[in-house]
Structure 1
């Protein structure tokens, strides 16, 4: 671990020097990464690893992946008894097989993903944020190797009905503000709306710990229908999954434990549609969702096994909205400014957050010579549940987090991202307000 972080620090210092002296223009690629690809993107990486192993680019078997590493530094405020400098790394590998090309079973794919995550002890705690300032951090164990996904997908009715069965990260399908912005003009399409590093982009605060995803994927079934209405942009998705990881006693890590559907279940459904606006055909979309958590949640005072309360079942609702606001070079590429908004609410007394609102803006390709760079800002507010007297002593009633980033394409598949996070209101009562921290991240697709 120490060797990994030492190497990462050396690489990042070198990259900073490259950025400041100037980087050569990078040709446009199909999909610059989000800040946490494992939580928000299908088919991670470029497939270059498979080609290095001798696989044809258009063959049935694809092997690819992504490595992400970051280091954080707490500049002021936060939890004073935590280390000021921390780090996290994520390695995601995927092998997928197109069964149509392989054996003639059209519109069918299978895949398997392996995930490795390593984090220092204070990586997810030092800022004092309950929502999460660094989305790569994970709940204990901090060092984990897991079979993240193994699933089969079958499309019916010319792709208008999709069924996925297996162990999967459901945050890619549900409550995902980073889903692709679709339009009928290919050059206007945006694959990822933002690369903000804070967790609310990848796990909505009111679904934090409930929705199976990074790092606790879960066994289940997902069905998505796209009927031939509203120019094919309307959709409805529903799923049911192993819900043991959503219980607040955190006794089951579904990412590490054997898959099962014998315990409580987590159910979710989402419906929405997209559109294009104006002569420039600027895309936008919305989604509305509802979820239900089965089983009994147990919430205890920190460090106690007796001072606890329980709740049977939980539920909540959420909404998503995004819109392209302007285009820098409408006749050339997908550069421009996009805005997004997500909101969630849950009446559950065992839910960590009772309500949340996350919003932001992204400028994609602001320079014509660097179409894959982006700059973004975001804000996330959450109402923290303090249902019992002992919880009032541990948490503040609200948390407000602001973040800004720049993602710089250093090469075809290499991205550098400096990020600054400010918390005028922290959730952890042991932390100081006006928490300010910095993050440097390196992402390599292969």
Structure 2
């Protein structure tokens, strides 16, 4: 079983880590890098380190880069949750990317093309045991549970001194929009933190009010993304807009755009976000905010579980959201990006076919507590969602609200290998069939290459 395989790998890694860092008291001193989020496919561009390409003989500064990331985790339900589901489950994600800098290759400056392949394998009950509607494990995926897909193929062109960025092709819009871990567009500072948290729950990577709507992990979509960074506010302001194949957001699960042939003939999904950044104090602690709105075309249908004749139908849907983060303290401001950072995201939608109508997610992250281990991090997060119960059958299936708490520690075993234990508590679960006070544990291994 996948759970057994994941457990064996993680167990062996943890044993080595304990021997190295606890018994022997030895910790490698590593240069400051960008530690991975808990789901790189949902939130990070250019995954991995490019080490795979270098192993194949490609130069580190060459035009062609080949890299990727493997992530595997196992979960165990300790109390509460859905009692008729298996208590232990596992998920693995493999993302491979080949990218070509056309400026270095053929002299077409500020132009890149890339292709990504994604494989995900999930045990049948993964993501269901805890009873969370928001999602306590971001690696889990809707059926099919075992999938291999062409995740992205796109071209990017920058114009006017890189102030305008255009991306066209099949892409994951969640990397740009409504993502607290989005690649930073406001920084002109050397030690800005791009990945604010490695929390494992889904609201970090797909806002509850956009769950199933915004193209991303694992259903990327064909579309166009434009980002403008004007010469104002010290180059910190930005505006991003995108339009994508919206068939995957119709909420009836009939189209898996990650697996289906790319198309723009059906309903479209549109989204826009504007924001800016700043720095505070002598240590120039960075912060930023973003405000966005989205619109889903087409007819959305949500049916009662097991009864396809009892449904909610809605023509079109829309919503708004906000993001904010602020560095609260810097441990070594002249040396690296260590410190404590806070973040907040909120969303709202009046759509009757949305699974959740309002949400708020917040957290704190401490990076590089020890000078000798600048890539370690630890964090806590809380996520609340108001669950849509606009029809009688929805009241039977869902509780009015869900509250989820999570804490993690991410340890860098090397600059390409990370292990992460996580604990999730749900004082209020969204699934009516689940018990309150759901408590579960997750152990994850991330390998960059």
TM over 0.5: yes
> In the alignment, what sits opposite 1:8?
9
2: distance between equivalents of 1:43 and 1:444? 14
Alpha-carbon contact 1:180-1:190 (below 8 Å) kept: no
2: distance between equivalents of 1:250 and 1:20? 47
1: distance between equivalents of 2:149 and 2:107? 31
- How far the C-alpha of 1:180 sits from its partner, in A, is 4.3
Alpha-carbon contact 1:62-1:97 (below 8 Å) kept: yes
Unmatched 5+ stretches in structure 1: none
- How far the C-alpha of 1:9 sits from its partner, in A, is 4.4
- 1:345 and 2:356 equivalent? no
The aligned runs of 1:279-298 (5 Å cut-off) are 279-298=282-301
> What is the root-mean-square deviation of aligned Cα atoms in Å?
1.2
> In the alignment, what sits opposite 2:445?
442
- 1:208 and 2:211 equivalent? yes
Alpha-carbon contact 2:92-2:139 (below 8 Å) kept: yes
Offset from partner CA, 1:336-370 (integer Å, 9 cap, x none):
00000000000000001100000000011011111
Alpha-carbon contact 1:12-1:440 (below 8 Å) kept: no
- How far the C-alpha of 1:123 sits from its partner, in A, is 0.8
- 1:383 and 2:386 equivalent? yes
> In the alignment, what sits opposite 1:323?
326
- How far the C-alpha of 1:10 sits from its partner, in A, is 4.0
- 1:335 and 2:338 equivalent? yes
1: distance between equivalents of 2:26 and 2:292? 42
- 1:404 and 2:412 equivalent? no
Alpha-carbon contact 1:183-1:281 (below 8 Å) kept: no
Alpha-carbon contact 1:26-1:411 (below 8 Å) kept: no
1: distance between equivalents of 2:26 and 2:237? 41
> In the alignment, what sits opposite 1:80?
83
359, 363, 366: which one pairs with 2:366? 363
162, 174, 183: which one pairs with 1:171? 174
Offset from partner CA, 1:60-90 (integer Å, 9 cap, x none):
0000000000000000000001111100000
Partner-residue secondary structure (3-state), 1:139: coil
2: distance between equivalents of 1:24 and 1:390? 55
For normalisation by structure 2, the TM-score amounts to: 0.97
Alpha-carbon contact 2:244-2:269 (below 8 Å) kept: yes
Runs of at least 4 residues of structure 1 off by over 6 A? none
Alpha-carbon contact 2:368-2:377 (below 8 Å) kept: yes
> In the alignment, what sits opposite 1:17?
18
Alpha-carbon contact 1:395-1:429 (below 8 Å) kept: yes
- How far the C-alpha of 1:184 sits from its partner, in A, is 3.6
Closer/same/farther in 2, CA of residues 230 and 15 from structure 1, 3 Å limit: same
Partner-residue secondary structure (3-state), 2:209: helix
2: distance between equivalents of 1:179 and 1:394? 33
2: distance between equivalents of 1:173 and 1:151? 14
271, 294, 313: which one pairs with 1:268? 271
> In the alignment, what sits opposite 1:195?
198
Partner-residue secondary structure (3-state), 2:309: coil
* Higher mean displacement: 109-118 or 177-186: 177-186
For normalisation by structure 1, the TM-score amounts to: 0.98
Query: How many residues end up aligned between the 2 structures?
Result: 445
Alpha-carbon contact 1:23-1:410 (below 8 Å) kept: no
- How far the C-alpha of 1:28 sits from its partner, in A, is 2.2
* Higher mean displacement: 4-13 or 351-360: 4-13
2: distance between equivalents of 1:150 and 1:76? 42
Alpha-carbon contact 1:15-1:416 (below 8 Å) kept: no
